[in-house]
Structure 1
Amino acid sequence: MQEKAIPIALLKRDIIGIAKSGTGKSCAFLLPILEDLLKRENKNNSILRALILVPTRELAKQITQAIDDYSKYLDIKRVAVFGGISNKEQVRKLSNGVDIVVATTGRLLEHIKNNTINLSSVEKVVIDELDTMLDMGFLEEIEQILPYIGKNRQISMFSATINSNIKKLAKEFLKDPVVIEVTNQRDHVEKIEHQIVLVDEDNKSELLSYLIGSKNISQVLVFVNRKLEADDLVKNLNLDGLKSSCIHGDIRQSSRALALRKFKEKELRVLVCTDIAARGIDIENLPCVVNFSLPETINDFTHRVGRTARAGNDGVAITLLSVKDYKLMNEIEKELMLQIPRVELVDFPTKEKKPRTKTREKKSIKDKKIEAKQRDSKDKTKTKKPNKTKFRKTTKRG
């Protein structure tokens, strides 16, 4: 992504970048922004030049940290704008002047309405994880924000997939965009070691603890679909002696940040999260991801397993599969061109009724020849004899 996007961005062309998480998108859009800011002569008074919109607080913090890393020896001022915390510090930084704002849409709209931010000077706009933002229902908010930005702007949209809403948004706000697509999502998924463990739904929690302990997994990110499911699972894991915590939408931002920090520093062994809360989470050398519950979409599956095996490292993705998800798992494998073997553990035999599957018996060549002869003989007996036309005899009279 960096190789293809950076030269286009430096030409100030609008971009639609299609690539999965972990392909270096952050660097692809941050370096051109920093390069442009570096050329500015008047650095005494920072003027807002770049706006980066993201779906979650975690991703906002991650990108802000990336800005700090890349601009370590530059005089760049940035601020992260998101909800869940007091906005007083954000207002103070904005009033003192900043070069880059990284924001979630909801809190940014609050600042716009309160006149604590002016977007008219923004020249570069980046919308990251756009497909996720649309899935979360932020299309209307994005459409409200973009008109506040001056006409002399360059917009880059990055998404793992492209759909009709993304095309509609691009048609409305982008000028002759360059479309950059980097690898298919299945390319990365194939490099991950996948495992499927068959288990009854009621035994999933116990099996997860057994797998973490027996495989001696030092660090594991576990995905669930519901907030209550995450809370209950953390309780069970801690009772089993596995230090765990969770992050989801109902948990305060400070608690989410603390849990993520402890997990990265390996003070926690297990971090349980929902899909939305996990967007933007980047953990270096994460060895294992577990699908405790199968996600509802193939795109979410690729986002989940993509948390491991990043930057060329090894990683394992384990899916705990119960009968109710057999059909969806088959669809995921078909779409991603995967064939993952199923394993059933001796200590956790499955009792749920499995769907019937048609299996063809293997027949020998001799049996196949006999069947072919029988079909031929039946076909001959079925052939109809031609009808004989009866002619009437006539005699000529002279």
Structure 2
Amino acid sequence: MMSFRNLNLINPIVRAVTEAGYSKPTEIQYIAVPHILAGRDIIGHAHSGTGKTAAYAMPILQLLKRNTPDHKEIRTLILTPTRELVLQLEESFKVYSKYLPLSQLSIFGGVLSGSQLAALRKRVDILIATPERLLDLVSQRYIDLSKIEILVLDEADRMLDMGFADDVKKILKLVSQKRQTLFFSATLPPDVQKFADAMLKNPVEITVNPTPSPMHTINQSVYFVEKTKKTDLLINILQDVSILRSLVFTRTKQGADRLVKQLERTGIFAAAIHGNKSQMARQQAVEDFRNSKIRVLVATDIAARGIDIEELPYVVNYELPDVPEIYVHRIGRTGRAGIQGTAVSFCDEGERSDLTNIQKLIGFIMPVEKFQYIH
């Protein structure tokens, strides 16, 4: 059986991850760790739950331990788009570095505390930051990025979706061109791939995208409906008051906002979450949804990542995704813990090929529902 020792990881790291309950490397860890230890740039295409963070954290810690000069410069920079992700990464690095003499610091929007300023004046091996806050502190000359040895972009697609592309480009000009760059993204649409290609040198491309079969506890069906009639159909479905909570997916931020306004005109309480919403607004919307203050949450795929709501009975694909795997992740938010869930999809004429690709992936032809237009 493959073990962490087979990856040539040092004992302090193996001990820390073993104590944390890790029994063996995941697929992305098995593939990525040797390449990162060898100094290669990486494009990692992997969703949450694949062990992606440990795949880059473990070798980074080992590389930093291998060469520990007496320094004050920041050696590794990890960029991620939100405060929640910064805190998640901070917790993970604390676990993996438990037995190593390496320092780390996290910064995100808000007031920089005295303890953080003190840490920046001493030694920071690993800095985890949101792009906007990082540039703010660079402009105030609290942070120097010129000696960065390893740069990580985590949740890169979400970072670009939230409008951080220009900030990331500014940061790239501030870090050493001799750096090692690790680029991780859950999806790789053309714009994200192009962004990665521009900043990486001869990267190793790793795709770990397990597609779980939709669970037998999810009732899936499809409505063939004209594009202009989708809102009528959704309102018709939501008039069933027994549907306590519905998560509705749109492709675009503008579409999500427009749909919320249309629903609220009919008395259906809803909120939208997407990259243009502030962190506070997204958190409030999810909390209101969780507490049933609103019945409907309209989301784009990237903004919906990380939402974990128990007893979510209904998922609606208002617009079908053009990447079939995304469909699986969307509907996987219902039907959990053995509780029956429902996932319905709206398919207009222009989405027929998307539906075909989805059904090919899941190996299942969805039953067709009939819709009586409301006049």
Compute the TM-score of the two structures, normalised by the length of structure 1: 0.64
Which letter does structure 2 place at the counterpart of 1:213?
Answer: S
Number of paired residues?
331
Which letter does structure 1 place at the counterpart of 2:106?
Answer: V
Which letter does structure 2 place at the counterpart of 1:15?
Answer: I
Give the match for residue 356 of structure 2.
334
Give the match for residue 148 of structure 2.
122
1:180 maps onto 2:206 in alignment = yes
1:227 maps onto 2:253 in alignment = no
CA distance in 1, matches of 2:337, 2:37: 28
Structure 2, unmatched stretches of 5+, are: 1-27
Change (3 A) 1:251 1:172: closer
Moved more, 269-278 or 108-117: 269-278
Q: CA deviation at 1:79?
A: 1.0
Which letter does structure 2 place at the counterpart of 1:332?
Answer: D
CA distance in 1, matches of 2:324, 2:138: 33
Decide whether the 8 Å contact of 1:189 with 1:302 is kept in 2: no
CA distance in 2, matches of 1:80, 1:271: 33
Change (3 A) 1:53 1:67: same
Give the match for residue 79 of structure 1.
106
Which letter does structure 2 place at the counterpart of 1:145?
Answer: I
- 5 Å matches for 1:106-255? 106-134=132-160, 138-162=164-188, 165-166=191-192, 168-183=194-209, 187-188=211-212, 193=218, 195-198=220-223, 201-208=231-238, 210=240, 213=242, 221-224=247-250, 225-230=255-260, 233=263, 246-249=272-275, 251-255=277-281
1:63 maps onto 2:89 in alignment = yes
Q: Which of 1 and 2 has greater Rg? A: 1
Change (3 A) 1:107 1:326: same
CA distance in 1, matches of 2:144, 2:189: 31
CA distance in 1, matches of 2:131, 2:257: 23
SS for the counterpart of 1:195 is: strand
Decide whether the 8 Å contact of 1:205 with 1:233 is kept in 2: yes
- 5 Å matches for 1:347-362? 349-351=371-373
Give the match for residue 333 of structure 2.
308
CA distance in 2, matches of 1:8, 1:310: 38
Q: CA RMSD in A?
A: 4.4
Compute the TM-score of the two structures, normalised by the length of structure 2: 0.67
1:89 maps onto 2:112 in alignment = yes
1:8 maps onto 2:35 in alignment = yes
Quote the sequence identity (%).
Answer: 29
Decide whether the 8 Å contact of 2:82 with 2:279 is kept in 1: no
Change (3 A) 1:223 1:270: farther
Q: CA deviation at 1:155?
A: 0.7
CA distance in 2, matches of 1:252, 1:49: 30
Counterpart selection for 1:257 from 265, 274, 283: 283
1:52 maps onto 2:52 in alignment = no
Which letter does structure 2 place at the counterpart of 1:341?
Answer: M
CA distance in 2, matches of 1:72, 1:209: 53
Decide whether the 8 Å contact of 1:53 with 1:102 is kept in 2: yes
